[in-house]
């Protein structure tokens, strides 16, 4: 009985804090994306248009590790049984990717262009059963500065 209560408590805590956290994070992501919208970022291998007087070229990176909450783990466990869209995980991965890209952009706000953006999903907790569920994203790109 105690076990059941503990489980319910964990699910409730996970739901309340997880949703709150996610909403807050999405709000912050949207705001920062708006602020950086003028920084040209592409995943093409060459700069867009002609760039003269290139003064510096830098490799820039950004990373984020976002954890799941208890509620999502239970819900996705059920989902796994019935099949279908795992919305809870979709938002999680989305958050991690966008956060990583934002951090990358924030590390070079004065760049003229950022080209060849690549995303890599890293793993810290792979191979440890399901002990810690998290998404680890690493974004890297080349920043070009002009005079």
Partner 1 sequence: MFLTNTEEVPGKKIVACFGVVSGSTVRAKHVGRDIMAGVKNIFGGELTGYTELLSEAREQAMERMRDQAEQLGANAIVNVRFSTSSVTAGASEIYIYGTAVTVE
Binding site for partner 1 (CB under 8 A): 10, 13-14, 17-18, 21-22, 25, 45-47, 51, 54, 57-59, 61, 63-70, 72-73, 99, 115-116, 118, 120-128, 131-134, 136, 138, 140-142, 144
Both tokens assigned to 127? 């191979």
DSSP for 7-44 reads HHHHHHHHHHHHHHHHHHHHHHHHHHHHHTTTSEE--S
Q: Which is nearer to partner 1, 63 or 83 (CB)?
A: 63
Smallest separation (angstroms) from partner 1 to the CB of 147:
11
Both tokens assigned to 51? 């760039």
Q: Which residues pair with 134 in a beta bridge?
A: 67
Smallest separation (angstroms) from partner 1 to the CB of 34:
21
Q: Which is nearer to partner 1, 32 or 63 (CB)?
A: 63
Q: Which is nearer to partner 1, 70 or 83 (CB)?
A: 70
Is residue 65 a contact partner of residue 95, using CB atoms and an 8 Å limit?
no
């Amino acid at each position: 009985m105690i076990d059941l209560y503990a489980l319910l408590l964990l699910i409730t805590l996970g739901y309340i804090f997880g949703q709150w956290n996610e909403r807050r994070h999405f709000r912050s992501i949207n705001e920062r994306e708006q602020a950086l919208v003028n920084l040209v970022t592409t995943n093409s291998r060459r700069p867009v248009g002609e760039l003269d007087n290139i003064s510096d070229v830098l490799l820039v990176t950004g990373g984020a590790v976002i954890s799941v909450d208890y509620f999502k783990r239970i819900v996705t466990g059920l989902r796994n049984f019935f099949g279908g869209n795992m919305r809870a995980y979709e938002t999680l991965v989305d958050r991690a990717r966008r956060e990583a890209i934002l951090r990358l952009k924030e590390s070079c706000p004065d760049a003229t262009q950022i080209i060849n953006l690549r995303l890599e999903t890293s793993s810290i907790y792979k191979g440890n059963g399901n002990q810690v569920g998290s998404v680890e994203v690493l974004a890297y790109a080349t920043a070009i500065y002009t005079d």
